DNA sequence: CAACATATCTAATATGCATTAGATATTTAT
DNA sequence: ATAAATATCTAATGCATATTAGATATGTTG
């Protein structure tokens, strides 16, 4: 019989989210069972439920993780990186930051990509969350005083840029699912150069 | 008791693939049961199995469907469309054709996008199929005498263009999952113009 | 060291599901 | 109209799973 090891709720929760992220980012929410998570953590199925309440509760844990961790503009304007001046932050610089951020968290990025697709099912626990996402992201971004090239205005002109940039990231991330060894940052830069070309954007990148 | 209606195998198979495509393109393979398909078709679970043999057999049916239908370069060079001259086909014109083709089959396109993501799970029935896909697509394309701008060569220069184009399509298709009403063709054109810009590509689009 | 709180387990329950076996109805050909 | 072929069904099987109930062990605090 396995020796019963008891750990603090914090470490256990961390172990569980870690294991769940690993499994779900590969198999999707529908592709795993609580038993799979339990086995990977090294405890029993009800042991997991003690922490997450239900299978859906497991997802909630992950989402808050994703949400907290995802490189936000708030985070960016505090980095002091080029283009991160809080009074005139620059969108291309932020996107570079975002991509580097996600490239450094491949597991969470995988998870996000997998869940985003799985969640188009109307009965998926995260359906509403992901449906709202593009709009809420736009609103979120809109709160920042981005510096734009002369003649371009946020509300009028930047919806396309933002939407296309996020589409590109999604596309690259799909490719990343199959070939994790490809260089996300480098691939993104190719598109960044197309989307924000010289000389228009030279001062705003 | 339901009146037993008997139809020809052809129509039944068509009904089944149609129902399965509808359901799987929304819920994924792991998200549906044979019962769901059976209910939608209006027959019993074993009735479905009579035709598909097993749940995996259902997928095989769909894949051949996807495969046959997907707008290939072969198809394109027979259309007589601008840029489709079989001795000098043009890549941007083909991509436009491909996107229009897929835009006209939204259900199969959804299906493809959903399955592609779900199939990163190593134990997914379509795992190998989708892992091989990028390479086999490249080889497939390589068999055609594409007309390229001066100075560009297929093997040396076009891998990036092809890969990036397909990444963009994947990205747009993810967005399409959530907002089916957006215009795939129009969104693709924005990227096409960036990827194949004037004046370099003027004669080869 | 005693007692409490709780993390973890084993066992049980109920449900959903893919698949199989065998019966029945419907079509088609003679 | 009868018979063969087969499409379709009902019923049964067995497995995986989420969840619950109740027992037990472990850490912590006084």
Chain A span 8-47 residues with beta carbon within 7 Å of strand D? 8, 32-36, 45-46
Q: Of chain A residues 16-45, which have a CB less than 8 A from chain B?
A: 26-28, 30-31
Please list every residue in chain B whose beta carbon sits closer than 8 Å to the beta carbon of residue A116.
174
Smallest CA-to-CA distance from B103 within B25, B15, B191, B186 is with B186
**Mean pLDDT across A165-174:** 98
pLDDT of residue A2: 47
Q: Which of B120, B123, B177 has the CB atom closest to A178's CB atom?
A: B120
How many Cβ contacts (< 8 angstroms) between chains A and B?
A: 100
Smallest CA-to-CA distance from A205 within A72, A90, A101, A89 is with A90
pLDDT averaged over chain A? 94
Q: Is B32 exposed, middle or buried (0-12, 13-18, 19+ CB in 10 A)?
A: buried
Q: Does domain B7-58 have CATH number 1.10.10.60?
A: yes
A105 min Cα distance to partner chain B (Å): 18
Residue B5 CA, nucleotide C21 C1', distance (Å)? 22
Mutate to test the interface with B, among A167, A176, A194 (most CBs of B within 10 A): A167
Lowest mean pLDDT among A81-85, A148-152, A177-181, B69-73: B69-73
Please list every residue in chain B whose beta carbon sits closer than 8 Å to the beta carbon of residue A131.
178
Smallest CA-to-CA distance from B13 within B71, B65, B66, B68 is with B65
pLDDT of residue A116: 96
Nucleotide nearest to B48 (CA to C1'): D8
Lowest mean pLDDT among A73-82, A176-185, B68-77, B147-156: B68-77
Smallest CA-to-CA distance from A192 within A116, A102, A94 is with A94
Please list every residue in chain B whose beta carbon sits closer than 8 Å to the beta carbon of residue A28.
28, 30, 118, 121
Asked if B178 lies within 8 A of A26 by C-beta distance, the reply is no
Judge whether residue A99 has pLDDT over 50.
Answer: yes
Taking CB atoms within 8 Å and a gap of at least 24, the contacts of A181-188 are A183/A103, A184/A99, A184/A102, A184/A103, A184/A109, A185/A96, A185/A99, A185/A100, A185/A103, A187/B164, A187/B167, A188/A95, A188/A96, A188/A99
B23 CB contact with strand C at below 7 Å: no
Q: Of chain A residues 159-178, which have a CB less than 8 A from chain B?
A: 160, 163-164, 166-172, 174-175, 177-178
B50 CB contact with strand D at below 7 Å: yes
Judge whether residue A96 has pLDDT over 80.
Answer: yes
Collapsing DSSP to helix, strand or coil, A186 comes out as helix
pLDDT of residue A3: 61
CATH number for region A1-65: 1.10.10.60
pLDDT of residue A112: 95
Domain boundaries, chain A: 1-65, 70-205
| pLDDT tens-place string over residues A2-55 | 467 888 888 899 999 999 999 999 999 999 999 999 999 999 999 999 999 999
pLDDT of residue A181: 97
Q: How far is CA A137 from CA A5, A23, A129, A141, B95, in A?
A: 42, 27, 11, 6, 30
Residue segments in chain B with a per-residue pLDDT below the cut of 70: 1-3, 68-69
The three state secondary structure string of B4-67 is CCCCCHHHHHHHHHHHHHHHHHHHCCCCCCHHHHHHHHCCCHHHHHHHHCCHHHHHHHHHHHHH
Judge whether residue A159 has pLDDT over 70.
Answer: yes
**Mean pLDDT across A71-96:** 97
pLDDT of residue B197: 96
């Amino acid at each position: 019989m396995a020796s019963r090891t008891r750990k603090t709720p914090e470490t256990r929760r961390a172990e569980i989210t870690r294991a769940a992220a690993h499994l779900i980012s590969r198999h999707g929410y529908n592709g795993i069972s609580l038993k799979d998570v339990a086995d990977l953590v090294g405890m029993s199925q009800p042991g997991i439920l003690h922490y997450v309440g239900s299978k859906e509760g497991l997802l909630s844990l992950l989402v808050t993780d994703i949400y907290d961790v995802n490189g936000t503009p708030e985070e960016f304007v505090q980095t002091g990186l080029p283009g991160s001046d809080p009074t005139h932050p620059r969108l291309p610089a932020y996107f570079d930051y975002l991509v580097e951020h996600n490239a450094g968290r491949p597991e969470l990025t995988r998870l996000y990509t997998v869940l985003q697709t799985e969640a188009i099912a109307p009965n998926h626990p995260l359906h509403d969350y992901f449906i709202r996402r593009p709009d809420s992201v736009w609103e979120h971004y809109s709160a920042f005083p981005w510096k734009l090239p002369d003649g371009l205005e946020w509300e009028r002109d930047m919806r396309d840029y933002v939407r296309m940039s996020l589409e590109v990231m999604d596309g690259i991330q799909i490719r990343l699912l199959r070939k994790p060894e490809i260089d996300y940052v480098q691939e993104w830069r190719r598109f960044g150069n197309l989307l924000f070309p010289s000389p228009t954007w030279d001062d705003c990148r």
